[in-house]
Amino acid sequence: MASTGQVIRCKAAVAWEAGKPLVMEEVDVAPPQAMEVRVKILFTSLCHTDVYFWEAKGQTPLFPRIFGHEAGGIVESVGEGVTDLEPGDHVLPVFTGECKECRHCKSEESNMCDLLRINTDRGVMLNDGKSRFSIRGQPIYHFVGTSTFSEYTVVHVGCLAKINPAAPLDKVCVLSCGISTGLGATLNVAKPKKGSTVAIFGLGAVGLAAAEGARISGASRIIGVDLNANRFDEAKKFGVTEFVNPKDHDKPVHEVIAEMTNGGVDRSVECTGSVSAMISAFECVHDGWGVAVLVGVPNKDDAFKTHPMNILNEKTLKGTFFGNYKPRSDLPSVVEKYMNKELELEKFITHEVPFAEINKAFEFMLSGAGLRCIIKMDA
């Protein structure tokens, strides 16, 4: 291609400081170095993680920065040593990676790659410790190795899932973070049997994806737990059959659920990051076989306690990272679930805006309106 090996100048939405609207800038994107790939982003989406780090709450602020990590695009060029991708391939960039060489990648049980595991503090590429983005010579920092709020970005090859080119990127782009996280928490970790009862704590996009996983698994009852009753109608589209608002009860929510289900649910998935929800999710599963899965990310200093008898009575507590999916090995098959109409993605997408209006996506999320907003790069 004509641009291979050359700097590309393109539009990017740059965060110059915490909490301030993104600014559309002309940025220079350097060519990919060894084991890197330059990708033309066609569609990206806004996730709560982008907003959290844009607001710079609870971590080391790093600006100026190009955010964005849910996206779909096409390979423009590849760096030295890249053998399994070529220009024209359709890819999903992912905030975590799969080097295929470390102990985690070689284990069937783990997706927590030693080399490419998420690092929110790093704003540069692994290869040389430098950014591939600049404006008039000033480096602009990367975000979780993806930085998809740019028409072109450079990503480590291990953080790109090659997918079916027939899959519509404006739909499957949401699989590169939150939707896969919730879906995999249910399908890969909780593993509810057909006819089982499942409780989902938190009915945001990740929780609804967990509910979608329970629906696909054939759960007979899916109980949604949320403090916001406005979410209950929307959740019905994802298979949720019953709703519990803890504020409506004068007893602990795990007791409410135990009464509803003759001793507890078979599986629960916690998608809020709240310590009290984590405890409730664990304590509401049935003794003998109940499994609770934690998905939500807690605050740095959080801790919770539960009585050891809960463990001794054969309740199981598990955690998951990115739904236990290995990005390169497993995401292509999740895309196929969508292509086979087994998985529905359209219902997760509630807004669409052109790239020039990306700040509207932030407004939608900050106001709690809808689930995912798709940002069309060339609109």
Q: Is 328 a catalytic residue?
A: no
In 271-309, where do the E strands start and end? 291-294
Identity at 55, one-letter amino acid code:
E
Question: Rounded to an integer, what distance in angstroms lies between the CA atom of residue 257 and that of residue 54?
Answer: 37
Q: Is 47 a catalytic residue?
A: yes
Which of 25, 70, 151, 212 is catalytic? The answer is 70
Q: Is 117 a catalytic residue?
A: yes
Which of 159, 173, 177, 373 is catalytic? The answer is 177
Question: Rounded to an integer, what distance in angstroms lies between the CA atom of residue 3 and that of residue 10?
Answer: 12
Q: Is 372 a catalytic residue?
A: yes
Question: Rounded to an integer, what distance in angstroms lies between the CA atom of residue 149 and that of residue 44?
Answer: 7
Which of 48, 241, 255, 336 is catalytic? The answer is 48
Q: Is 373 a catalytic residue?
A: no
Q: Is 70 a catalytic residue?
A: yes
**Pairing state between β 267-270 and 197-201:** parallel
Only one residue has tokens 């998905």, namely 295
Q: What's the token pair of residue 73?
A: 């695009």
How many C-alpha atoms does 232 have within 13 Å on its Cβ side? Answer: 13
Q: Is 113 a catalytic residue?
A: yes
Of the candidates 1, 181, 186, the one whose C-alpha atom is nearest the C-alpha of residue 75 is 1
Q: What's the token pair of residue 361?
A: 């996506």
Identity at 176, one-letter amino acid code:
S
Which of 36, 44, 47, 98 is catalytic? The answer is 47
Residues sharing a CB contact under 8 Å with residue 149, sequence separation 6 or more, in sequence order: 12, 13, 22, 44, 66, 67, 68, 358, 375
Which of 76, 113, 231, 373 is catalytic? The answer is 113
Which of 69, 90, 132, 231 is catalytic? The answer is 69
Which of 99, 159, 271, 284 is catalytic? The answer is 99
Using only C-alpha atoms, the chain has a radius of gyration, in whole angstroms, of 21
Q: What's the token pair of residue 285?
A: 């599963």
Question: Rounded to an integer, what distance in angstroms lies between the CA atom of residue 264 and that of residue 283?
Answer: 8
What is the four-CA torsion angle of 315, 117, 217, 199, rounded to 10 degrees? 50
Which of 49, 148, 181, 197 is catalytic? The answer is 49
Which of 90, 156, 215, 372 is catalytic? The answer is 372
Which residues on neighbouring strands pair with residue 50, listed in sequence order? none
Which of 10, 102, 316, 350 is catalytic? The answer is 102
Only one residue has tokens 């529905």, namely 344
Q: What's the token pair of residue 278?
A: 């984590």
Tell me how far apart the terminal alpha carbons of the chain are, to the nearest angstrom. Answer: 23
- Residues serving a catalytic function are 47-49, 69-70, 99, 102, 105, 113, 117, 177, 372
